[in-house]
Amino acid sequence: MTNVHTAAEPLVTTTNDGLDERETWSRDRLEEFQLEKLKWSVRHAYENAPMYREKFDDAGVHPDDIREMSDLAKFPFTTKEDLRRAYPFGMFAKPLSEIPRIHASSGTTGRPTVVGYTHNDLDAWATVVARSMRLSGVRPGDMVHNAYGYGLFTGGLGAHAGAEKLGCTVIPMSGGQTDRQVQVIRDFKPRVICCTPSYLLTVMDAMRDMGLDPADSSLEIAILGAEPWTEPMRQEIEKGLGLKATDIYGLSEVTGPGVSGESVDHQQGSTVWEDYFYPEIVDPDDLSRTMPDGEQGELVFTTLQKEALPIIRYRTKDLSVLLPGDARPAFRRMQKITGRTDDMIILRGVNLFPTQIEEIAVEIEHLTPHFILELHRKGRMDSLTVKIESVPGVPQEDITGAAQLLRRLIKNRIGSTVDVETVEPGTLPRSQGKYKRVYDYRMDEADLTRS
């Protein structure tokens, strides 16, 4: 047994097979720990972050009200807007002198949200990423090609620290310069790649363009996240590269990648590191309703040990379901994210998520997984065009047939009538990180119609 230093609970024992002791706890032991840490975290937020004191006072709640985990539901939510209002450092519960690192997430609109970490927070973050990677089949001594972006985005440095902590050799590639990435994979022969699923498609295409068969690469494990992706996409990636693809989830407001990670043996949703992040599922249409495990809703997280930026009941806007543990029985899993409440497209009254289109598109022969969605407004009617690349070298009549099939399957399975436009291979923008799939021109066109 060796001792490893981690966050607020300073010493965690590591058993010889590399699991830290908490990973082997019973549910009861974990719940006891969670309650103790929740009390600490709520009090820490109240006493050191004025926004929380104000919020809790307004809601008539106090840290003393936490007697059991279910008391958390009495506390108000935290939102991205709270962080934006506090821009840049207003929600920090520690002075900057104790914060060696900041990150920020740009979001699609408005000010970025800025997050900070103490040394203990950074260590805790590395611990959860290391656990996630281990669960994905990565072992000390493996070489890890890290193509998550380094910088303000948490992906690059987060995955990097976790892989180092696990005892791997890290290639700090960051995103972009895809031809160079392919060369490095060919020459250094990493076993593991970390990047967004859409960027891995870009890398696969680049391999093919360079005359290489992606299945011949040294890669055996891909740890993919930062954006929604579907089971058919997993199969496409696994088949193309001849590897196992696992999911990693996280968000900067809660820590970064590693809030949960998926077991390579099960590939059935990712294990939430509940000793650091307490998950709840709430009904997005009635936030006062906490949903039981097994039911879908919006994920909400409370940090249990974070020092620099404690987060109480953060509304992620991500839709998921909490499930019983698999590889780490005490820790619940979350089902793969199907979409964000923000990404939901309402097309003439029918709700749809880009992932539903991905699921169908990836299965159709002669079409590639490269597609974007364009929303237009024609008069009073909204319309959705799926622009999708065809496979190189396929005769036009087969491409037309594939486009018709896609249109029909979307109508049958989702209930929406869409336009499908196939485009030449290689003409849509390629992902360099998080892929922007939806282009919404409806507001511009509504303005044009009015003027």
DSSP type of residue 128: H
Which residue in this structure is represented by tokens 């997050």? 115
Q: How far is the CB of 342 from ligand DLL (least distance, A)?
A: 8
Residue 38: name the closest of 70, 6, 78, 80 by CA.
Answer: 70
Whichever of 80 and 377 has its CB closer to ligand DLL, that residue is 80
Structure tokens that stand for 33 in this block: 């720990």
The span from the CA of 118 to the CA of 303, in Å, is: 14
Beta partners for residue 383, in sequence order: 376
Name which of 247 and 275 has its Cβ closer to ligand DLL: 247
Q: 221 or 402: whose CB is closer to ligand DLL?
A: 221
**Residue closest to ligand DLL, measured at CB:** 225
- CB nearer to ligand DLL: give 129 or 384: 129
Comparison of 214 and 257: residue with beta carbon closer to ligand DLL: 257
Neighbours of 211 (CB within 10 A): 6
Q: Where does this chain touch ligand DLL (CB under 6 A) — which range of 137-145, 224-232, 303-311, 437-445? A: 224-232
Determine if 304 is a binding residue for ligand DLL (CB under 6 A).
no
What are the start-end ranges of the H helices in 295-374? Answer: 354-361
Q: Name the minimum Å distance from CB 241 to ligand DLL.
A: 18
Among residues 223, 240, 205, 221, the alpha carbon closest in space to that of 370 is found at 205
> What is the end-to-end Cα distance of the chain in Å, rounded?
73
Q: Which one, 49 or 299, has the nearer CB to ligand DLL? A: 299
Count of positions on this chain that bind ligand DLL (CB under 6 A): 21
d(Cα 17, Cα 185) in Å, to the nearest integer? Answer: 29
φ, ψ (nearest 5 deg) of residue 369? -80, 5
Cα–Cα distance, 127 to 163 (Å, whole number): 9
Restricting to residues 307-336, which ones interact with ligand DLL according to CB under 6 A? Answer: 316, 318
Least distance to ligand DLL from the beta carbon of 115, Å?
8
Rounded-to-integer distance, Cα 388 and Cα 409, Å:
15
| Residue 226 makes contact with ligand DLL by CB under 6 A | yes
Cα 44 from Cα 221, distance rounded (Å): 39
**Interface with ligand DLL includes 297 (CB under 6 A)?**
no
292, with CB counted inside 10 A (0-12, 13-18, 19+), is exposed
Binding mask 145-184 for ligand DLL (x = CB under 6 A): ---x----xxx-----------------------------
- Concatenating the DSSP letter of every residue in 310-323 gives --SSEEEEEEE-EE
For 262, the token pair is: 């998926």
Helix (H) or strand (E) holding 264: none
- Residue with smaller CB distance to ligand DLL, 105 or 169: 105
User: Considering the rule CB under 6 A, would residue 205 count as an interface residue with ligand DLL?
Assistant: no
Considering only 137, 175, 225, 297, the residue that binds ligand DLL (CB under 6 A) is 225
Spell out a b/e string for 297-331, using b for 16 or more CB atoms within 10 Å of the CB, else e: bbbbbbbbbbbbbbbbbbbbbbbbbbbebbbbebb
Contact between residue 388 and residue 357 where contact means Cβ atoms under 8 Å apart: no
Residues 121-150, one symbol each (x = binds ligand DLL by CB under 6 A, - = not), give: ---------------------------x--
- Tokens matching residue 92: 């920090």
Binding mask 80-119 for ligand DLL (x = CB under 6 A): -------------------------x--------------
Binding residues among 233-262 for ligand DLL as defined by CB under 6 A: 247-252, 256-257
Binding to ligand DLL by residue 340, rule CB under 6 A? yes
For ligand DLL, give the closer residue by CB, 362 or 399: 362
How far apart are alpha carbons 195 and 147 in whole angstroms?
A: 5
Q: Which is nearer to ligand DLL, 181 or 390 (CB)?
A: 181
Residue closer to ligand DLL, measured from CB, 61 or 357: 357
Residues at the contact surface with ligand DLL, assessed by CB under 6 A = 105, 148, 153-155, 225-228, 247-252, 256-257, 316, 318, 337, 340
